[in-house]
Copies of this chain bind each other. A is one copy, B any other.
Amino acid sequence: MEIGFIGLGHMGQAIARNLLKTGHRVTVHNRTRAKSEDVAKDGATIAEKPAGAAANAEVLFTMLADDAAVEGVLYGKEGAAAALARDKLHVSLSTISVALSRSLAERHGEAGQFYVAAPVLGRPDAAAEGKLFVVAAGKKAAVERARPLLEAIGQKLFVLDERPESANLAKLGANFLLAAMLESLGEVFALTRKAGIDPQHYLDILTTSMFPAPAYKNYGGMIVADKFEPAGFAMPMGLKDVGLALDAAKALAVPMPFASLLRERFVEGMAAGLEKSEWAAIARIAARDAGL
């Protein structure tokens, strides 16, 4: 199949490569050309402009950092949306706002194009191994068309309902749960470390008993080691996603006091110079505030 792929960060590169491995022809575009060249070594064709990636695509994937990047790539100069043919499909993998996803659904619909929101759960290493979890939503026909590709890039595909923005909200909710876990771990390790309890031993107890989930083990390990660089998912991304969850919650009139406190924690992290650190580094803020 002819595939267009725009956005070749850590996640995007890994996913594009998996599509290539599955035997599809993939035309890639990335703002910084060097990253396109990396993927070209594995067989991708390079498009100089977003429009070039969309022009011949049956399915156009986008995997971008935020709302502004998605808007720009689709509707900016030489944008992809106008280049995508009628009846073709755009699959948005990015973690974007509920509001933008709803708006994309409308605009693609007006252009006679299909649209699926399919944000992914997992970090770059999981993406490379094809072990992402994919949460998709959109019109049934569109999702069915995307299904084989989404199954190829992840270990499991969950299909929500026919409103694409449901998938985006589900993703934002999952990231909020992770962020809340990070803050909780940060506080509890500040407490127990200051009490003289061995952090690694305590983490082992927690993850052997009540919390045997990879998220607790992996992020807990970072916190115990106090090692947050290089970042797979950096603090500004955490701040962005909690902000998007709060925006969605405000629009629906749902108070989220934990999310709100988390937002301030990430801001505190930015003020402390942790913008290049893994988002789990809010644990370092909890430790700092405890005088550790």
Contact = CB atoms under 8 A, between A and B. Distances in A.
Interface of A: 98, 121-122, 133, 135, 156, 158, 160-161, 163, 166, 169-170, 173-174, 176-178, 180-181, 183-185, 187-188, 190-192, 194-198, 201-202, 204-206, 208-216, 239, 243, 245-246, 248-250, 252-261, 263-265, 267-268, 270-273, 286, 289-291
A175 to B, nearest CB: 9
Given A183-B258, A255-B290, A267-B249, A177 B211 contact: yes
Contacts of A166: 195-197
A255 B242 CA distance: 14
Contacts of A135: 205
Given A191-B254, A291-B271, A206 B177 contact: yes
Contacts of A211: 177, 213, 215
A13 to B, nearest CB: 22
10 contacts: A158-B204, A170-B192, A176-B184, A176-B188, A177-B210, A191-B252, A254-B267, A254-B290, A255-B264, A258-B261
Contacts of A267: 249-250, 253-256
Q: When A and B form their complex, which 9 residue pairs have the shortest distance between CB atoms, in order from nearest?
A: A271-B291, A180-B184, A133-B209, A253-B271, A213-B213, A254-B290, A255-B268, A260-B260, A255-B264
Nearest to A268: B255
Contacts of A192: 169-170, 173
Nearest to A212: B213
B210 A210 contact: no
Contacts of A264: 255-257, 260
A98 B170 CA distance: 32
Contacts of A156: 208-209
Contacts of A213: 210-213, 216
A258 B185 CA distance: 10
B194 A252 contact: yes
A291 B265 contact: no
A265 B261 contact: no
A291 B271 CA distance: 5
Given A260-B263, A268-B289, A184 B194 contact: no
A271 to B, nearest CB: 4
B188 A177 contact: yes
B252 A158 contact: no
